[in-house]
Amino acid sequence: MSANCTQYSEELVESYSLGRLACEEGARFEEHLLVCADCQQRLSESDSYVAAVKAAAVSYARKPNARAAPIGPTGFFPLTPNR
Amino acid sequence: MEAINEGQSLSLAPESAREETEAMDEQPEQAMTETMEAAPNWAELVEQIRRDDAAGMEELYRVFARGIRFYLCRQLGPQELDDRVHDTFLIVVQAIRRGDLREPERLMGFVRTVVRRQVAAHIDGLVHSRRQEVEIDVNTRLADRSWNPEQSLASRENVNLMRRVLESLSKRDREILVRFYLHEQSQEQICREMELTETQFRLLKSRAKARFGELGKKRLQQKALSALFVRTYSGMRH
């Protein structure tokens, strides 16, 4: 993250990006977001990052033979697709 | 040229699609540097707007224009963004003049409420119109009209590239990213199932996140350079 605002942590910005902030906290951050260019930039970067990881993970899970691979500890995601 | 800037963030969107989104950055220089420290006296600003003072209107626009554009663009995309921003300002100003804002110091919250209602109304309208389309022809597929075929191809290439980056991480780093970002598991669940302490989780996640970001940027740079090379080389042959 490259912006300077220190009012909200990187972790909080990421939580907002993932839609995981509690209502009140989310509302406070959204108000701040309306007037803080730094946090708009930080959130854009976080949104891009989250989208990239999600897309990569979905693509990884859909690879041919991936579903036949050994299943991870939680049983829903193959950690090492067959190559 | 498709060269990647130093601090550029990861993006799956093709270059041409990104240009559309960047339209929201076409703001006055002053608004670009707006921060909380420069926030005005809300009560005074609201009073100016009530009096129909042009300076108050200018100030309202200076403070909120970029933020409203950002919020609307993030939620609804860049289509008709100017109109939506304009409508939002209109609603805010009219509401203030009617006296709907009883606590002027709550202006930020008031603007947020108006913007959120705008987003909700747009989504409601969209759902309604799509439902009607489906009723007209149940076999109709709702096509994604946002990207053209070239842009879709470029986006798919970027996704494949990111997948390769994910594959290149260690098994544990990959698992943490997948659990946290894709399956949206809580820190507690990840710690429990991967037998990590909170500190270990924070360290591992931070490292995996940084690694994915660094490798992703590097690969995007290589892709941009190789595209440039191909264009230059094919240009020399003709």
- Please indicate whether, in this complex, the C-beta atoms of A55 and B36 are within 8 angstroms of each other: no
Burial class of residue B85 in the structure, from the number of CB atoms within 10 Å of its CB (0-12 exposed, 13-18 middle, 19+ buried)? buried
Residue pair A55/B156 in contact (Cβ under 8 Å)? The answer is no
Q: Find the domain containing B80 and state its range.
A: 34-136
- Please indicate whether, in this complex, the C-beta atoms of A20 and B165 are within 8 angstroms of each other: no
CB atoms within 10 A of CB B121: 11
Q: Which residue has the tokens 């036949």?
A: A68
Nearest by Cα to B208 from B170, B179, B182: B170
Domain boundaries along the sequence of chain A: 10-68
Helices (H) and strands (E) in chain A, counts: 3, 0
Nearest residue on chain B to A55, alpha-carbon basis: B159
What's the whole-model pTM score? 0.72
pLDDT one-digit tens code per residue, B162-220: 899 999 999 999 999 999 998 989 999 999 999 999 999 999 999 999 999 999 888 88
Q: Tell me how far apart the alpha carbons of residues B164 and A59 are, in angstroms, rounded to a whole number.
A: 9
CATH number at residue B50: 1.10.1740.10
CB within 8 A of B61, min separation 6: which ones?
B89
Residue B88 lies in a domain: yes
Q: Which residue has the tokens 């290589």?
A: B222
To test the contact with chain A by mutation, choose from B4, B18, B35 the residue with the greatest count of A C-beta atoms within 10 A, namely B35
Which among B109, B136, B163 is the end of a domain?
A: B136
Pick from A45, A77, A80: CB nearest B178: A77
Nearest by Cα to B36 from A8, A35, A10: A35
CB within 8 A of B175, min separation 6: which ones?
A72, A77, A79, B194
Q: Measure A40 CA to nearest chain B CA, in Å.
A: 7
- Please indicate whether, in this complex, the C-beta atoms of B178 and A30 are within 8 angstroms of each other: no
**How many distinct structural domains can be found in chain B?**
2
Does A6 contact chain B (CB < 8 Å)?
no
pLDDT one-digit tens code per residue, A38-60: 999 999 999 999 999 999 998 88
Least reliable range by pLDDT among A26-30, B109-113, B137-141, B182-186: B137-141
Residue B27 lies in a domain: no
CB atoms within 10 A of CB B51: 10
Nearest residue on chain A to B22, alpha-carbon basis: A44
